[in-house]
Structures are given as structure tokens and as C-alpha cells.
Amino acid sequence: EQIRRRGVSAGRFDSSELATPSVVPFDALRIIRIPGDGNCFFYAVCDQLQGTPLETDAASLRHELTSRVVQIMPELIEQGFVLPENADFIVDSSFSEGTYVPDEVVPLLSRCFNVDLVIYQENGTVLQYCMSPLQPPIAIVRILLRHEHYESLRFANPIPVSEPIVDAEEPRLTQQSAGHFGARPAQERPERIIRPEAPAHNCGPMDRACDQCGALLWCSETRNFCCAKGKVKLPSRTVPQVLADLYLGRHRLSAEFLTNIRSYNSALHLTSLGAKLRLVPGWCPSFIISGQLHHNTAPLFAEDSAEPHGWQVYFNDRELESRQSLSQKVKPELLELLQTLLHECNGYVRSLRAVAHRISQDPELGDARIVIHPDRRPSGEHIRRYNLPTANEVGILIVEDNENTPASRDVVIQLRGGGSQRISETHRSYDPLEYVLLFPNGEDGWHPELLMSNGKKLTPMKYYASEIMVRAGQFSVLHYGRRLFQQYLVDMCAKIEAERLLYLRTHQQDLRSETYSGLR
């Protein structure tokens, strides 16, 4: 009864002594090797969670488990489960990637995620059995601990379809769901679905490096995939140290930042995302859209009766309060930190604030518009240069005659009124205006004027294929962006398809022409 109530037990047992379906004879299991890089516990658990509602990756599991442990730490100290003087060390060690998980945190997996955790020893006995507070459990985790290293355990023989290994529920997304982890009250759970063991798919190690750009490749990928054999050369992007610490789990607010990263980006972005989102069953994080995806801009200043959004918030006297009202998931402390960072390093924010200040000082500019040109670069610079926004990138335009009419791809910002404007997918600011936490410095995205080293046009597919590659020794925030990275990938795929459709629309004469050679 105490085990069931606390969800935690420790000791050494023979598997036959524990009358529970979660504990099976050790000789019925086979060992799945896990790399020993300090994250072995989380890798082993993630291997066990494949095909269950809790399926995730090791980094996400580490941050989510640690954040939940932080929430219940006062209770753990009160119960004597954790000594007060050890609390800070436990939290710091749990947050740090590549650091072995503290022994106090391991059994809390069952309590935090409602799983049965069974830890075997090499001699086949059960070292630790942690029962889920919620029965039946959402998943069963069986792992092996030997020489302070964790391995995953699976059934040695294939399990017949009629004999499940996990008695799991099919989850539904509800407004009460927090993130993609956790359990719901029993009355909200639908009927259970019995799932057989899902076979694992192994792509092999990513151990081949391109000799042109350094991208790490799987065995089936070629150098043409990452950089077109050296023809595509993108500069490495830098981020402020504070933001890098948030992404890498070195900051005390990292778990909050990574869990709700899309909410923080939505509170800070300079444009608004237009798309019809689809919610699908399952706890695996996803970003799915229906129909067309686009970015919209708003007038520079919000109407007196309207709630500011997008870049309007940057020119609001109550900037922080306005951002908090846009999302209930954000913490004021972290939001203020990110807001200050963008004020210091983002070229678009600095330029727009400077223009807004000039307009406020000069009444004659009351009918002006602000223009962000799609392809402006400093004179004399090469067309393949990827520029940060500078002072001459954002300018004031007073429309007086047809000669001053903005081009179709210009981003034209009305001062007040006039409604929203859609940003062209081919505009260089399309990416940095929306994804301020992925491109905090405001670096250009893809635009049609970019060329490869052989002088041919750089297509968006080749650009983004190179952009998202993993390269040894290079830190890219994209790969740590979690759900924001998913949104970015969907957005850029939509851009690639839009450009292909645009080509078909504008080259009908070429596509419909026939070859007349050999005909009389």
C-alpha cells in the first residue's frame, strides 16, 4: 500500500517475488546498447517510450522531468526524500546535458509521468521497482543498470500481436493539457487501446562528414544533398550568450523557455503568422497546418482601442504588459529577459524604433510609410553576401507621385490604419521578422537574388537544405528549437512549394512549348 501511495520503492527482489505484469523474468529480455555520454538514463527511457503516448527525445525528457522535479522539490524535502542541502545540486545536475542523472531523480520518473519503472541488475534481479500512482500505467519502462550505466531492455522474442507489451491510452489534446507530457483525470480518458511492440527503425550513425561544408550525413545522403558539392555556402550564425545558454539548458529558466518556446516567440515576433492549425491526437509534439501559410504585418502604431500585436508592441509604453496579455503561458521574468535581448541585438527592432522616434519628432512625416526593401544591400557588396539589417535597410517613404510608389515585394508599413499587409515569401525579411528567437540578430533569409558559387540562382530548397544540416563544431539554435523548429520547417516547406507553384504560373509559355526538331 505504501508503494502504491508513494509510487516509489527500492530494494533487491527476484522477479518472481513481485506479482505485477510490469516485472518479467530477466531472461525474457534482451539488452539494447545505449551510448555512455552522461545521458544514458534518458536515452534508455526514450527507447522504452517508443510507440507510447509519451514518446519524445532525450533532451526534451531531461528538461521536462527536471522542471517537474523542481515543482515538487518542497514536497520531497518535507517528506525527507531529498536533503535540503542537496536540492540545488540535484536540480543543476539534472538540467545539465551530458551529466549523469542523480539517484534521487531516477525513481521520480514514475511519479512525474505515470509510468511503471523497473530497474534490473546484471544478475537478473530487480534493483528498483517504481509503481505509477495512476494504474494502469501509461507506459512500462524496463532498463538495466550495470557499472553506473543504463541500458534499455526489450523482449527477446517477437511478441504476438495478440499479446501487448503496453496497455496504453489514446490521448486527446484538451485545453487543460500542459505541454505534451502528463496524465489526465480518469473521467477524461477514452477507452484504452492495446498496442503491440513497434519495430525500431535505425538510420545508422550520422558519422560521415561532407568535405566541402562539414555537414554530418547518414549513409544514404550525398554531398549534393547538403551543399550541392560546395556550390552553396552559408555563413555560420551567432547568437547572444544568454540565448545560447537558454537553448543548451545552462540557464535556470531553460526548461520554461524550451517547453513554451512557441509562446515566447509569438509574444516577441514582429509579424503575425496566418495559418489554419490542426490538432491531432497524441502526445508527440507536432505542428500541422491546413491550406496556405503566410506572414502578415500590421500598421506601426496600434489604434487607441485595439490591443497591440506584432511590432506594434515594441512601440507601446506598456510593452511588457502587452506581451503578457498575448499569452498566458509566459513568465514575466523570462519574457523581460528576451525582450531586452532583442532590443540590444536585433537590427529590425533597433531600426524601427529609430524610425518611430524620428516620426514622433517630425509632424511633417504624419503621412509617411516605412519601407523594408526586399533585396537592398550595401553598394559594392557581392550578391551572395547574407547581410544583417542596417540603418539604410529600413527607410521612410512619403508617397507623393508614381515614381515613389513602393514595389510589389516591398514591405510597406502604414503608420496607423490601413489594415495588415501580407509579406511576400521571397522577401529576405520573411524569416527573421517571424522567428526572432531563431534569428535574434535579424539575419536575412532566402531571397531570389541569392546565387550559388557557379553563378546560378540559389533555390529555396537548396538554401534550407543547407541551413538545417548538423555540422560538427558549429552550434545552431535551429536544432534546439523544439516546437518552434517544427513550425519553422513547416513554414519553409510551404515557402518552397509556393515558389515552385509560382514558377509554374509564370512559365506557362515555356512549359507548354513543344520541341519542333525533326518535325515537318
Render pLDDT for 203-212 as a digit per residue (tens, 0 to 9): 778 888 898 8
Residues of the chain with pLDDT > 90, as a percent, come to 12
Residue-wise pLDDT for 147-194, tens only, equals 888 999 988 765 443 333 343 333 333 333 333 334 444 444 444 444
Strand order in the sheet with 29-32: 29-32, 149-155, 139-146, 115-120, 126-130
Mean of pLDDT values over 131-156: 86
Q: What is the pTM of this model?
A: 0.53
Assign 469 a pLDDT band (cuts: 50, 70, 90).
very high
**What class, spelled out in words, does domain 2-175+188-195 have in CATH?**
alpha beta
pLDDT of residue 298: 52
pLDDT of residue 440: 93
pLDDT at residue 241, as a whole number: 92
pLDDT the model gives residue 462: 94
For residue 220, what pLDDT is reported?
A: 80
pLDDT of the residue at 177 = 35
Long-range contacts of 334-339 (CB under 8 A, 24+ apart): 334/253, 334/256, 334/257, 334/264, 335/264, 335/267, 335/268, 337/242, 337/253, 338/243, 338/264, 338/268, 338/437, 339/268
Domain(s) of CATH 3.90.70.80: residues in the chain: 2-175+188-195
pLDDT for res 138: 85
Grid cell locating 119: 530497474
What is the pLDDT, as a whole number, of residue 199?
66
pLDDT, position 142: 92
The region of weakest confidence among 218-222, 307-311, 438-442 is: 307-311
Give 33 or 393, the one with higher predicted confidence. Answer: 33
For all residues of the chain together, what is the average pLDDT?
71
Residue 327 CA to its chain's centroid (Å): 18
Length of the chain counted residue by residue: 520
Mean pLDDT across 284-294: 47
Q: What is the mean pLDDT of residues 118-146?
A: 87
Among candidates 152, 79, 138, which has minimal Cα distance to 110? Answer: 138
Confidence of residue 299 (pLDDT cuts 50, 70, 90): low
Least confident of 69-73, 188-192, 451-455, 477-481: 188-192
Can you tell me the mean pLDDT for 340-365?
76
Give the model's pLDDT for residue 203: 77
- Maximum pairwise Cα distance, the chain: 95
The per-residue pLDDT for 420 is 54
- Cα dihedral sign for 176, 178, 179, 180? negative
Q: How far apart are CA 42 and CA 31, in angstroms?
A: 16
pLDDT recorded at residue 463: 94
Say yes or no to pLDDT of 506 above 80: yes
Question: What pLDDT was estimated at residue 52?
Answer: 82
Nine-digit cell string for 33: 546498447
Least confident of 77-81, 111-115, 158-162, 211-215: 158-162
Checking if the pLDDT of 116 tops 80, the result is: yes
> Which ranges of 49-107 would DSSP assign to H, the alpha helix?
58-78, 87-95
User: Can you give the pLDDT at residue 82?
Assistant: 76
Q: Is the pLDDT of residue 18 over 70?
A: no
pLDDT tens for residues 228-266?
Answer: 989 999 888 889 999 999 998 888 898 889 988 988 888
**Band of the pLDDT at 287, cuts 50, 70, 90?**
very low
Average pLDDT over residues 85-110: 80
Residue 29 in this model has a pLDDT that exceeds 60: yes
pLDDT for the residue numbered 439: 93
pLDDT of 310 reads 47
* Angle at 240 (CA atoms; ends 389, 392), nearest 5 degrees: 10
Contacts of 74 (CB under 8 A, 6+ apart): none
Q: What is the pLDDT of residue 243?
A: 94
